[in-house]
Amino acid sequence: MARLELDGLTKVFEGDSGPIVAVEELDLDINDGEFVVVVGPSGCGKSTTLRTVAGLESATDGEMRIGGEVINNKAPRDRDIAMVFQSYALYPHKTVAENMGYGLHLSTDHTDEEIEKRVEEAATMMGIEDLLDKKPGSLSGGQQQRVATGRAIVREPSVFLFDEPLSNLDAKLRKHMRTELARLHTELNITTMYVTHDQEEAMTMADRIVVLNDGRLQQAGTPKQVYYEPVNLFVADFIGSPSMNIFDVTLRRDSDGGAELVNESFTYAISERVTNNFDAADGDEFILGIRPESLHPADETTPVKKTVRGRVDVVEVVGSDNFIYLDIDGKECRVRTRSAVEPEIDTTFDFTFEEEDIHLFDADTEEALAHGTKSPEPADQGVEEAAVGD
C-alpha cells in the first residue's frame, strides 16, 4: 500500500527580492497504483512539488506521507521513491548496467547476481537489453530515456516521480514513449506522480490530472472532468489545444424567461436551462468560453441570434481537421472543422454553437458558473469522487 498524501504542502524560497512562494497549501491524495499527472505553465510550482516529495528540497510547511508514514524529515534515499529526470542524469562514465544497478548496490543488501538479474529484467521490460554494456554517451536520446526509466523501475519503489521525462525527445518519439510509459504503468501498477507542461501528455496518460497555477491547486480530476468541466477560466484556457475561445459578454434578460449574451460583435440567445444554474440579473457581466471543436459553420436555418460572424484570417490544414482562425472585431477565434470546410482568406465566415457546449465564468472571480446546461460541481468534489472511484 503506497498512497502518497500531501497535506497543506508549502514551499517558500528565499529569493534576492524577498521570499517567493513556489507551492502554497497544496492538498493532494494519490491512491495506490494511481497515475497522477501534475500540469501547469512554467513557474507554477509543479517541479518544486515533485522535488519536495523526492526530498531534493525541504518542505517549508505541511506534511507529506507515503503509505501513511511521514517522510518530511527522511533523507531522499530512505523515502522509497525513484525519480526520472528531464535531463536523465545518467552517470556518463558508467555503463548502462552499472547506471541501473548503482542504487541497488548502495542501498540494498542484494548480492551481485541478484542485482544483475533485476537489471536484466528491467532492461528487458524497457527493450534495452542489448545496450547494457554501452556508456550513455553513445546512446540516442530515446535510448537514454529508456535507461533512465529502467534505472527507476529496477529499484521497485513504492512511488515513481517523473519530472518532464519526455520533453527532450522529438515529437514522434515523445508520443511513442508516452504509450510505452502508460503500458509500463499498467504492468507495474506503481503509484506515479508525473510532472509535465504538456497538457496533451497529461490528457492521454493520466488517471487523474492536477492543474497548478502560481503554486496553487486549481483542479484535480479525471482528464474528462478537467476538459469538460473546468472549475475556472485558467483550467479552461490551459487544457485543450487549440485553447478555448473566450469572450466578454453581458447578460440581457427578456420578458419570456429567456436571455441573451451580448457582446459588441454578436448576440447569442440562451434558454432558462442555462440561466437557472446561477443567479443572473439583467446587465451582469460574464466570460463566455467555447471550445474550437464546438463551433460549426452556420447555414440558412440557423437563427440570427445563434450566429456569430467573423473574418477568415488563417486556415491551417492539419490533415484530419482544419483549424480556422477568425478575426471577430479584432479578437481571435479558433474554429476546428472537418477538412472539407476550407473558406477563402478574408471572406466572412458565419458559425454557430449549441448552448450545451458553452462554459460561463464569473467575470470577477473567473470561477465556472455553468457548463452548458449543467451547473458545475463544487470545486473539491471532483477530487473526492476520483479518490473514492479507485
C-alpha cell at 20: 517567493
Q: Which of 12, 102, 253, 355 binds another protein (CB under 8 A)?
A: 102
Segment near another protein (CB under 8 A); pick from 24-32, 52-60, 109-117, 199-207: 52-60
Q: Is 103 in the site for another protein (CB under 8 A)?
A: yes
Cβ-based nearer residue to another protein, 67 or 343: 67
Calpha distance 113→106 (Å, rounded): 15
Cβ-based nearer residue to another protein, 104 or 295: 104
Site residues (CB under 8 A) for another protein, limited to 119-148: 135-138
Q: Which of 343, 336, 296, 297 is nearest to 320 (CA)?
A: 336
Segment near another protein (CB under 8 A); pick from 102-110, 115-123, 165-173, 382-390: 102-110
Q: Is 2 in the site for another protein (CB under 8 A)?
A: no
Cβ-based nearer residue to another protein, 81 or 181: 81
Segment near another protein (CB under 8 A); pick from 88-96, 258-266, 336-344, 364-372: 88-96
Calpha distance 89→100 (Å, rounded): 12
The amino acid that residue 197 corresponds to is H
Asked if residue 249 lies in contact with residue 289, where contact means CB atoms within 8 angstroms, the answer is no
Segment near another protein (CB under 8 A); pick from 77-85, 233-241, 273-281, 290-298: 77-85
The amino acid that residue 172 corresponds to is K
- In which element (H, E) is residue 114 found? helix 112-126
Calpha distance 92→147 (Å, rounded): 12
The residue with cell 526520472 is 84
Q: Is 13 in the site for another protein (CB under 8 A)?
A: no
Environment class of 52 (CB within 10 Å of its CB; exposed 0-12, middle 13-18, buried 19+): buried
- In which element (H, E) is residue 167 found? none
Q: Which of 76, 141, 257, 283 binds another protein (CB under 8 A)?
A: 76
- In which element (H, E) is residue 278 found? none
Cβ-based nearer residue to another protein, 67 or 103: 103
What is the binding site for another protein (CB under 8 A)? 54-56, 75-77, 81-83, 85-94, 102-103, 106-107, 135-138
